[in-house]
Structure 1
Amino acid sequence: MAREGRPLIRIIIQNFLNSFRPRQIRGDLKGEDYFGNKYYEIPADPSRGKRKPSRWFEPPGKPKDDHGHELTAEWESWLRGRRNDPPTQEELIKNLSIMEMKKRNAALLEEKHKQPQDHAAIKHDQATGRAHFPRYDDEYEIMPGSKPINKKDE
């Protein structure tokens, strides 16, 4: 009596041999960031048992090591599955301008608070022996291009 069905041994051997073939990964290009990284996705296919999409990026050029790449926060959250839709160009440009504004504000504050290396500027309390350091009012932008907020004006 012959058994009807799939020949199990043949399927196991064929899958084993197919595992040595290089994979042809073809994903959909979802976008690119200002560092030059390109982001790809293979959508989920529940009919094949794949519940999550596969997402990855390709850095520009040949990297020296596998971990020295810069990623934007928006694209990283998309790669890790924290957001469903890839970020838009407008969102990337807005966050880049905010990042540059923060760098500008930090440079301005550092320049403003720079003082000569004079130890007389630090006042010592004779009773306790503790030093009293100067306090500064912060002036910084909240939105790029807006008027800086001064705590004295509030």
Structure 2
Amino acid sequence: MANGEYRHVWRIVLRNFFNSLKPRQIKGNNMGKDYIGNIYYEIPADPQRGKRKATRWYDPPKGLDFQEPLPSEWESWLRMRRTEPPTAEEIAKNVAIAEQKKINAAKIEEKRLAEGGALPTPVERGAQSFPTYPEYHTGDPSINPKNKYR
């Protein structure tokens, strides 16, 4: 380094510090929208400027800051598990599968109730620190979980 560069080190440090306090103008590329209304954005990686990874985020619709979980295909894209955002066909296919699962679950529940099935029994909690389930109870009073290893 030349002699003159050493004299301005503190000036460079202070300038970088004050520049870090300024708000950044974030303008990302619109990558898509899901069925909830979230809009997804990305700022691609730029290794020449020292940015090795892409930045991804989403904006929820107005008034829906706390909502149901993100669709799995978009969450995997946000967490960098996939490189390309999901296509409209993939999203439509996954929504159709989820709707079919809801219909099938309702049919199974209706069939179970028609056959005389009762509602699920609540789990009994005793003095132990773990729940006891009647279907796993052996009925043998000599078996004590506390004395199991004697």
Indicate the residue corresponding to 1:111 in structure 2: 110
Q: Secondary structure at the match of 2:40?
A: strand
Compare 43-52 and 3-12 and name the one that shifted more: 3-12
Q: Runs of 4 or more off by more than 3 Å in structure 1?
A: 62-65, 115-118
Asked if residue 3 in structure 1 is aligned to residue 3 in structure 2, the reply is yes
Q: Distance in 1 between matches of 2:64 and 2:93?
A: 28
| 1:48-67 map, 5 Å | 48-63=49-64
The code of the aligned residue for 1:4 comes to G
Partner of 1:4: helix, strand, or coil?
helix
Identity of aligned residues (%): 54
Q: Find the aligned partners of 2:95 and 2:14 in 1 and give their Cα distance.
A: 52
- In the alignment of these two chains, the number of paired residues is 117
Q: Quote the residue 2:38 is aligned against.
A: 37
- Give the secondary structure class of the aligned counterpart of 2:3: coil
The question of whether the paired residues in 2 share the 8 Å contact of 1:44 and 1:52 is answered with yes
Pairwise CA distance, 1:11: 1.2
SS at match of 2:10: helix
- Within 5 Å, give how 1:114-133 maps onto structure 2: 114=113, 115-116=115-116
Gap regions ≥5 residues in structure 2: 119-137, 140-150
Aligned to 1:46: 47
Cα RMSD (Å): 2.3
* Equivalent AA in structure 2 for residue 99 of structure 1: A
The AA in structure 2 aligned to 1:10 is R
Partner Cα separation in structure 2 for residue 105 and residue 81 of structure 1: 33
Normalising by structure 1, what TM-score? 0.68
- Relative to structure 2, which stretch is displaced further, 68-77 or 37-46? 68-77
How many Å apart are 1:4 and its aligned residue?
A: 3.3
What code does the residue aligned with 2:18 have? L
